[in-house]
Structure 1
């Protein structure tokens, strides 16, 4: 049985199918399983079966999200307490696993069956082998994009989740989780580690990377911008884009260089999670909204319906929070001040903390200014998450959006005056005093500094400047060319009356085409095919429908462009293939911070990926054998040093 190499479509990729790990040099090797088994002695066979049992147990724990350690509490010194891994091994022994029984029956009662180091090595091999299975189709499908999400806390260490997006052999979009990247303080070091991890450790040929997105909070946005910049410098064929999973306005606000904005975003997430945690709390909020919107029942019903979704991640989240502010505060106050014992102390105290944060003028003025400043990109961002026709329209409207924002910047004093007046009126309705933030009130050397002028310089100006620069950085000329290639989608062609010339934009991917010399003629035939279609033939509405057409193979250049475009992070996943992302979110949400593990998280997210258990065992045994040989080599002292 030949394992570990892939007959890929792209020969260059074959040199990148080696997985390396920091603690243990793990390499996927070729093993003749039949011959290998025949050559084993009884002792070697039993040892291999023992290792296989360990792997089976670790894989089970990864799939079921069971921590290897188990208990959180500190065990007093001198008291032996078995962890989850050892407990499962004992269960297997009691269930009739003779290999494990013979292995451990001579050990002391309180002795560990498997050391922490060995567990870590097994996890590394499991992750390495499963990642190779995940990446097999990536290697054969040729083009892909890299997507980085906001850092998560894994047992006290910040790690960046990395996903890969590609079109598989059935022309379906796939998005897979391929691992974590540890955060480091220095942005340049992070960029170097990122590229080394992708190429040397994970075996990706970045020459075929066509897109990248980074969805990072303010804490890491500047660093990830450096990472993206270094990647694009080395691989200019990759296009930096927004992720379809993140609303443009949310992306812009998360990277705004104003501390108060980060605080507001944290409060919004906390509010959303607070009400999602209990059906009783949701019902209380619903009743509060109905009470306050008695004069506009339709609006109240609409808001209640929107609250059932992940509203804090919507493109109009700030508009919603401004509209709902009175209802949210009133509901939180009811919960925190309730004397009927309906809510436990934890919920009541949490409600009090949230209400206090939302009744601070700094919070009110920040959400109002963000709502107004981001109103100029709201429709644009919504289109980016819409249909292919919507995205194409957005690409052609960017100039108008930037023009409007520049006009705001040129007249910021006038705009800020209106925005600040709206904030003070809203605060007045809620009996919130208008004042400077606490730290500025105490050390304010300019006694004539007003709240209005302070927030103009500290919030309005930097926010609008950031939005303008953010759009320019994100929507480069190459990015816009890629978006305008959507005119190849038949529905978009029809909307434009089949009068477009796609060749200029498709030139961006000329080096990726199988027959670039025939591109012009092929595009003409593609247009004619759809323009003169039968009356009962519907136009495909998106990239994926177009790729699934039976006769797409007769248009190889069009097929190639559509395939590359489909892998770009910005395009909406029409076939709901974001399972890996949802699994990772569920793992982070349901696993206590101190029990999270990058290896176990990877196994849990990719639990349904096929794997070759024998390959894992052989890889582990060969790696351990190689390490033992290296450790046994005598370390000779340099003669010059001895002298």
Structure 2
């Protein structure tokens, strides 16, 4: 039967957590203090014996210094431990229920006493109760057996192995270094680290493997898989506990990854933890080998059945997809919104809006441009190819050195991910083609590199590619500033949202005057093609279709207007309207709750008009107008020395934001929206860490479990928990290890007995030899005496 935590607003139970659960003490004085700190009015009438028998508190409510882990099996409290860590406000977000633990309302003076009590109670005050407490008040793990020496040895050995695996994951080191062609001669990094730890004096590993032949494998593939699974699941469960505590989250998916010839979709969760810090962590890989309906079912099953989350608490979704997968992920987003209306579909904060828009355009010519851009990232990662591009830029812009230098500097960064990527691409088209030709003619590159250069050159020398690039550059000029602001600070995002009408107006004006705009854009494309010596033709397939239909000569400009310009402008308008629908805009306009935005708007904001987006999630929706009025007054009449917080995260860190429960709930839900940027260093998002793992490890050596350890560096986990979990999941391995230990002990005893017997035999032989030597000496002496007498 599971143990449930008696603390208010705590839903943990022993079957879903690795936390320790502790009984209420039988000592009446200590038990009274525990009840007072819990603020459970319904427990005050119960005796200490009743509380000790039927009620528990989990370890989360005690200062870590009060909890002692005496072994992997046993966790106890110090004799003076008092629970002091409780969340007494989270219940305000939820409607009252019949089964909710009732919280006793206290005054500010009572709350202060509770905070001080943890340090006020001295050891002397409770020392008199110590004997009775030791007899009656034990932890929830009081019946756990004491460990034998063999068990302790085994757990130390497992802990050393987990330390090595965690190191491999954090350092992006594959289990096997694939540098040899013969599989039998692959360098085993795990084996090498174990040997290093043994040589460095790791007693647990040394005892385990000291008599193992150095050319044998320390761990079988099955054991490695089991250990890695435990690592992965422990890290994931720690992260999921934080998500469950925060309740609201958003889904973010990344680029497809191929494991074992099966495509997988990386899945991330964005949430605000209990410290009000916005986090985005990697969750798992989802198989991508089915249609959109099956994929939605897989996502739901994964999140709800396996990971214990509720899709009703999902507040946003963002999907990064390219090529033929774009339509599939858009369909997934629509299906999720049909089931869960508050799962708002938005662009992802760490992808430039113009790139996101282009990826979502379902036209083959646009997708070819985007795939070519993606190929540049891996192609120019090689320093030799990058140097060739720098030379080509310098040669092409000999007469305009300033522009050449600017382009060289731009290409030294992640230029394929910038908001102005199509402007850069258009300027780089002639140097890029020159670079590819030089690589193909050079003998300093491998056949594979020259083959890739040939493929890219074929794309670049296609007039349809040039026209499409020019059209994308000009159409997306109207969304470039808008997209850049979306990735800016909170104030920038708020004003970007309010400028959307102007952006759509500009795009519609282009659409209404498409004849004029297309003429200018086509002339620009022809000029670029002339510089690159590319003929201005229509695609070969279209020409063949025209001949088959006995059509007259094709007008090249009219063709590209009908099949490129018009579809692109229509597609961009539709995508912008879909991604920034009315409900999405309402949610983002709630950013006016951030004090800096309120100040910029002269405190004349109207959040009440947008509150219906999250009205069901607010703790006290009926008091929202009055609370918002107080929130505005608070900041409007602040002191001159008080600075207005500029971001959601800064606002959530304010100590008095908890006195505005509706505002607090609004800000936390807004934080999870994928369009808002994450705080922290650039390049430090979970998706970027995952990409760094894939870039740093050869594809054949990719490992899902090590990827989890590499990406979720902010997740705290305990090696002892991993050891406990492994022993629970694989008890037969523990038994085998114990049997091996017994056999080794017996073998050692036999060897010692044999050594003693050999020593005794040697001693007897020495004694006999000495006796024989004495006898021989006596005989010799007698013979000499006899000879002298004669």
Q: Please indicate, yes or no, whether the TM-score normalized by the shorter chain is above 0.5.
A: yes
Which structure would you say has the larger RCO, counting Cα contacts within 8 Å and 6 or more residues apart? 1
Q: Structure 1 residues 189, 67: closer, same or farther in 2, change over 3 A? A: same
> Displacement, 1:276?
4.8
**What is the aligned partner in structure 1 of residue 536 from structure 2?**
434
Indicate conservation of the 8 Å contact 1:318/1:371, yes or no. Answer: yes
Provide the rounded CA distance (Å) in 2 between the counterparts of 1:565 and 1:334. Answer: 51
> Displacement, 1:101?
5.6
Matched, 1:469 2:510: no
What do the CA deviations read for 1:29-60 (whole angstroms, capped 9, x no partner)? Answer: x9842668744445544444444444333333
Matched, 1:270 2:375: yes
Matched, 1:609 2:715: yes
Matched, 1:200 2:305: yes
**What is the aligned partner in structure 2 of residue 583 from structure 1?**
689
Provide the rounded CA distance (Å) in 1 between the counterparts of 2:595 and 2:199. Answer: 63
**What is the aligned partner in structure 1 of residue 358 from structure 2?**
253
> Displacement, 1:429?
2.6
**What is the aligned partner in structure 2 of residue 123 from structure 1?**
228
Indicate conservation of the 8 Å contact 2:281/2:711, yes or no. Answer: no
Provide the rounded CA distance (Å) in 1 between the counterparts of 2:523 and 2:387. Answer: 33
Work out which of the residue numbers 484, 488, 493 in structure 2 matches 1:386: 488
Provide the rounded CA distance (Å) in 1 between the counterparts of 2:4 and 2:454. Answer: 59
Matched, 1:541 2:646: yes
Q: Structure 1 residues 16, 151: closer, same or farther in 2, change over 3 A? A: farther
Q: Structure 1 residues 306, 69: closer, same or farther in 2, change over 3 A? A: closer
Provide the rounded CA distance (Å) in 2 between the counterparts of 1:86 and 1:554. Answer: 56
**What is the aligned partner in structure 2 of residue 237 from structure 1?**
342
Equivalent pairs counted in the alignment come to 612
Q: Structure 1 residues 170, 250: closer, same or farther in 2, change over 3 A? A: same
Provide the rounded CA distance (Å) in 2 between the counterparts of 1:413 and 1:95. Answer: 76
More displaced stretch, 402-411 vs 353-362: 402-411
Aligned-residue CA RMSD in angstroms?
3.6
> Displacement, 1:275?
4.1
Provide the rounded CA distance (Å) in 2 between the counterparts of 1:157 and 1:484. Answer: 41
> Displacement, 1:456?
3.3
What do the CA deviations read for 1:188-212 (whole angstroms, capped 9, x no partner)? Answer: 1111111111222233233322221
Indicate conservation of the 8 Å contact 1:171/1:544, yes or no. Answer: yes
**What is the aligned partner in structure 2 of residue 58 from structure 1?**
165
| 1:163 alignment partner, SS class | strand
Q: Structure 1 residues 91, 282: closer, same or farther in 2, change over 3 A? A: closer
What do the CA deviations read for 1:560-597 (whole angstroms, capped 9, x no partner)? Answer: 21222122111122433834333212111111111111
Provide the rounded CA distance (Å) in 2 between the counterparts of 1:526 and 1:350. Answer: 59
**What is the aligned partner in structure 2 of residue 176 from structure 1?**
281
**What is the aligned partner in structure 2 of residue 561 from structure 1?**
666
> Displacement, 1:171?
2.6
Provide the rounded CA distance (Å) in 2 between the counterparts of 1:14 and 1:424. Answer: 69
Provide the rounded CA distance (Å) in 2 between the counterparts of 1:479 and 1:346. Answer: 46
| 1:514 alignment partner, SS class | coil
Work out which of the residue numbers 659, 673, 678 in structure 2 matches 1:573: 678
Matched, 1:68 2:175: yes
Q: Structure 1 residues 538, 50: closer, same or farther in 2, change over 3 A? A: closer
Mapping of residues 188-337 of structure 1, within 5 Å? 188-278=293-383, 285=389, 289=393, 299-334=403-438, 336-337=440-441
Provide the rounded CA distance (Å) in 1 between the counterparts of 2:285 and 2:17. Answer: 18
Provide the rounded CA distance (Å) in 1 between the counterparts of 2:185 and 2:387. Answer: 48
> Displacement, 1:93?
4.7
Name the larger-Rg structure. Answer: 2
Q: Structure 1 residues 258, 533: closer, same or farther in 2, change over 3 A? A: same
> Displacement, 1:373?
2.5
Indicate conservation of the 8 Å contact 2:176/2:186, yes or no. Answer: no
| 1:217 alignment partner, SS class | coil
Mapping of residues 343-492 of structure 1, within 5 Å? 351=453, 353-442=455-544, 444=546, 445-446=548-549, 447-448=551-552, 449-492=554-597
What do the CA deviations read for 1:204-247 (whole angstroms, capped 9, x no partner)? Answer: 23332222111111232222223323332333232221111011
> Displacement, 1:167?
2.2
Q: Structure 1 residues 184, 356: closer, same or farther in 2, change over 3 A? A: closer
Indicate conservation of the 8 Å contact 2:365/2:468, yes or no. Answer: yes
Provide the rounded CA distance (Å) in 1 between the counterparts of 2:614 and 2:452. Answer: 53
Provide the rounded CA distance (Å) in 1 between the counterparts of 2:291 and 2:5. Answer: 36
> Displacement, 1:509?
1.9
Provide the rounded CA distance (Å) in 2 between the counterparts of 1:499 and 1:382. Answer: 26
Q: Which runs of 5+ in 2 are unaligned?
A: 19-68, 76-141, 736-790
Q: Structure 1 residues 472, 17: closer, same or farther in 2, change over 3 A? A: farther
More displaced stretch, 287-296 vs 402-411: 287-296
Provide the rounded CA distance (Å) in 2 between the counterparts of 1:14 and 1:39. Answer: 24
Q: Structure 1 residues 240, 8: closer, same or farther in 2, change over 3 A? A: farther
> Displacement, 1:62?
2.1
More displaced stretch, 147-156 vs 363-372: 147-156
Provide the rounded CA distance (Å) in 2 between the counterparts of 1:551 and 1:291. Answer: 61
Provide the rounded CA distance (Å) in 1 between the counterparts of 2:392 and 2:186. Answer: 50
Taking structure 2 as the reference length, the TM-score comes to 0.69
Provide the rounded CA distance (Å) in 2 between the counterparts of 1:117 and 1:4. Answer: 34
Indicate conservation of the 8 Å contact 2:5/2:11, yes or no. Answer: no
Indicate conservation of the 8 Å contact 1:18/1:203, yes or no. Answer: no
> Displacement, 1:109?
7.9
Provide the rounded CA distance (Å) in 1 between the counterparts of 2:195 and 2:490. Answer: 56
Q: Structure 1 residues 295, 121: closer, same or farther in 2, change over 3 A? A: same
Indicate conservation of the 8 Å contact 2:282/2:711, yes or no. Answer: yes
| 1:218 alignment partner, SS class | coil
**What is the aligned partner in structure 2 of residue 640 from structure 1?**
none
Provide the rounded CA distance (Å) in 2 between the counterparts of 1:248 and 1:420. Answer: 24
Mapping of residues 22-61 of structure 1, within 5 Å? 32-33=73-74, 38-61=145-168
Indicate conservation of the 8 Å contact 1:158/1:182, yes or no. Answer: yes
Q: Structure 1 residues 33, 452: closer, same or farther in 2, change over 3 A? A: farther
Work out which of the residue numbers 598, 610, 616 in structure 1 matches 2:704: 598
Q: Structure 1 residues 95, 536: closer, same or farther in 2, change over 3 A? A: closer
Matched, 1:84 2:221: no
Q: Structure 1 residues 481, 350: closer, same or farther in 2, change over 3 A? A: same
